Amino acid sequence: MQSDRAYLDHAATTALLPEAAEAWRDAASRVGNPSSLHAAGRSARRLVEEARESIADDLHVRPSEVIFTSGGTEADNLAVKGLAWAHPERPRILCSAIEHHAVLDPVVWLGEQGHEIDWLPVDSFGRVDPDVVKARLGDDVALCTVMWANNEVGTVQPIAEIAAACAEAGVPFHTDAVQALGQLPIDGSLPGLTSMALSGHKVGAPVGTGALILRRDARVVPVVHGGGQEREVRSGTLDAAGVAAFGVAVHHAVEAQAAHAARLVALRQDLIDGIMRLAPDAIVNGDPVERLPANVHVSFPGCEGDTLLMLLDAAGVECSTGSACTAGVPEPSHVLEAMGVDPGLARGSLRFSLGCSSTSDDVDRVIEVLPAALERASRAATPRLRRTR
């Protein structure tokens, strides 16, 4: 990373942790399929199982409940589709309206296959009301899925209450915890939690690593068949090197979580304060208190987010207009739409996300270049947008 640039897109991906890189290099220098019975295979298997036990200990689950995947998207698809298919007698699925597309798209697809999708609304902060969930639960619900923390606006959901309500109703509950890991305390043994998706490259592991935490008593139909290497639920040769690095990254994320969060909260507040001084009409989206330590999501009236993003990029600041999975899509964010944000205002939004390498210099860089970027973006905006300033 160039020293004169400020990288504030850690929610999209963050740098490879040196310890994870070392673990990967050590494991990758060896040969052996973890499913083979000879010495090389057993050595690879040992790496996998040591990582599994480490992750299980860090997340307060049993090792057998850690299913390694290629990342958060596969983990979400395996849980959402697998749990729904395992309960064909239950046609309804409860899903929050602000899920990442790794959950949203499989749910929409299941709806096209005949399931009844019951979208859970959110308030203006992007929070799901547990009482609404309780009111909609029933013995016809195959699955309820609500993300632990939103990837765009950073709002943290009342997961413990929602999970408890699902447990009382006997409904499987899945949560996408991709953004929460490393920023919030994560307890995989939470009563009522059936499954939880995790991604490696958000916490310093290589891209292509992740896991689904899945309760032993959960019924799941595999999405991919052909070996059943992971508890007959997930097939495919395990990437022993990637798994080893993922285990190291998860351990570091959990061990450093409290100190990491405290540091990021201070930087986050400095960034918010600086933005509001420069642009008093700007709007910080998401819950003001129950939000991810690293997330600053702001709408700038009278500006197009894409224009502002490119102007900031040219000035040495790297951020995003929302999820990296939907970058370049001109439509307003479905998250902001569900929160009731005006479409024109929604299109003028940026997400700044902090991480391990973030410093006060990065915050200062944003504050330094933002005024000129806002002025140019405002002049470049359409007349309709300019009238909203």
Per-residue pLDDT reduced to its tens digit, 200-220: 999 999 999 999 999 999 999
Residue 156 pLDDT exceeds 50:
yes
Within a domain: 233: yes
DSSP 3-state assignment of 327?
coil
pLDDT score of 330: 61
pLDDT-derived band at 380 (thresholds 50, 70, 90) equals confident
Sheet arrangement for strand 92-96: 66-69, 210-214, 195-199, 173-176, 141-145, 92-96, 116-120
pTM: 0.94
**In Å, how far from its chain's centre is CA 20?**
20
Asked if 195 contacts 61 with a C-beta cutoff of 8 angstroms, the reply is no
Within this chain, do residues 61 and 205 fall inside the same structural domain, yes or no? Answer: yes
The answer to whether residue 303 is catalytic is no
- Rounded alpha-carbon distances, angstroms, from residue 112 to 78, 141, 300: 17, 17, 36
CA atoms in the 13 A half-sphere facing the CB of 251: 17
* Average confidence (pLDDT) over 66-90: 98
* Average confidence (pLDDT) over 31-53: 97
Asked if 180 contacts 149 with a C-beta cutoff of 8 angstroms, the reply is yes
Q: Which domain holds residue 307?
A: 6-14+257-386
* Average confidence (pLDDT) over 185-199: 98
Q: Determine which of 129-133, 147-151, 242-246, 324-328 has the lowest per-residue pLDDT on average.
A: 324-328
Lookup: tokens for 105: 């798209």
pLDDT score of 3: 59
Within this chain, do residues 226 and 313 fall inside the same structural domain, yes or no? Answer: no
Q: Where are the alpha helices (DSSP H) in the chain?
A: 18-28, 39-59, 72-85, 101-112, 130-136, 159-169, 240-255, 257-278, 305-314, 334-338, 343-346, 360-380, 383-386
User: How far, in Å, CA of 162 to CA of 226, rounded?
Assistant: 35
Sign of CA pseudo-dihedral 66, 71, 77, 78:
negative
Within a domain: 121: yes
pLDDT score of 386: 46
Within this chain, do residues 120 and 216 fall inside the same structural domain, yes or no? Answer: yes
Within this chain, do residues 33 and 98 fall inside the same structural domain, yes or no? Answer: yes
Within this chain, do residues 74 and 36 fall inside the same structural domain, yes or no? Answer: yes
Within this chain, do residues 318 and 249 fall inside the same structural domain, yes or no? Answer: no
- Tallying the residues shown for the chain, one arrives at 389
Q: What is the CATH number of the domain that holds 339?
A: 3.90.1150.10
User: How far, in Å, CA of 337 to CA of 356, rounded?
Assistant: 31
Crossing angle of helices 240-255 and 39-59, rounded to 10°:
20
Per-residue DSSP letter, 148: S
Residue 49 pLDDT exceeds 50:
yes
At 282-339, the pLDDT tens digits run 999 999 999 999 999 999 999 999 999 999 999 999 999 975 455 555 678 999 999 9
pLDDT score of 381: 74
Buried b (16+ CB within 10 A) or exposed e, 64-83: ebbbbbbbbbbbbbbbbbbb
Q: Is 194 exposed, middle or buried (0-12, 13-18, 19+ CB in 10 A)?
A: buried
Lookup: tokens for 341: 């944000």
Per-residue DSSP letter, 181: B
Within this chain, do residues 23 and 105 fall inside the same structural domain, yes or no? Answer: yes
* Average confidence (pLDDT) over 9-13: 98
Catalytic residue, from 95, 166, 319, 325: name it: 325
pLDDT score of 387: 40
pLDDT score of 329: 55
Within a domain: 82: yes
User: How far, in Å, CA of 362 to CA of 291, rounded?
Assistant: 20
* Average confidence (pLDDT) over 275-281: 97
User: How far, in Å, CA of 237 to CA of 35, rounded?
Assistant: 8
pLDDT score of 331: 74
CB atoms within 10 A of CB 63: 14
Residue 271 pLDDT exceeds 60:
yes
Asked if 13 contacts 202 with a C-beta cutoff of 8 angstroms, the reply is yes
Residue 226 pLDDT exceeds 80:
yes
Q: What is the CATH number of the domain that holds 137?
A: 3.40.640.10
pLDDT-derived band at 356 (thresholds 50, 70, 90) equals very high
Last residue of a domain, one of 222, 255, 288: 255
pLDDT-derived band at 2 (thresholds 50, 70, 90) equals very low
Within this chain, do residues 191 and 332 fall inside the same structural domain, yes or no? Answer: no
Within this chain, do residues 358 and 242 fall inside the same structural domain, yes or no? Answer: no
* Average confidence (pLDDT) over 354-366: 97
Within this chain, do residues 52 and 125 fall inside the same structural domain, yes or no? Answer: yes
Within a domain: 1: no
| Type of residue numbered 207 | V
Last residue of a domain, one of 255, 287, 322: 255
Per-residue DSSP letter, 155: B
Domain count, the chain: 2
Q: What is the mean pLDDT of the chain?
A: 95
Within this chain, do residues 244 and 278 fall inside the same structural domain, yes or no? Answer: no
Lookup: tokens for 21: 């890189």
Within a domain: 25: yes
Within this chain, do residues 247 and 349 fall inside the same structural domain, yes or no? Answer: no
Last residue of a domain, one of 255, 273, 290: 255
Lookup: tokens for 361: 């210099």
Residue 1 pLDDT exceeds 50:
no
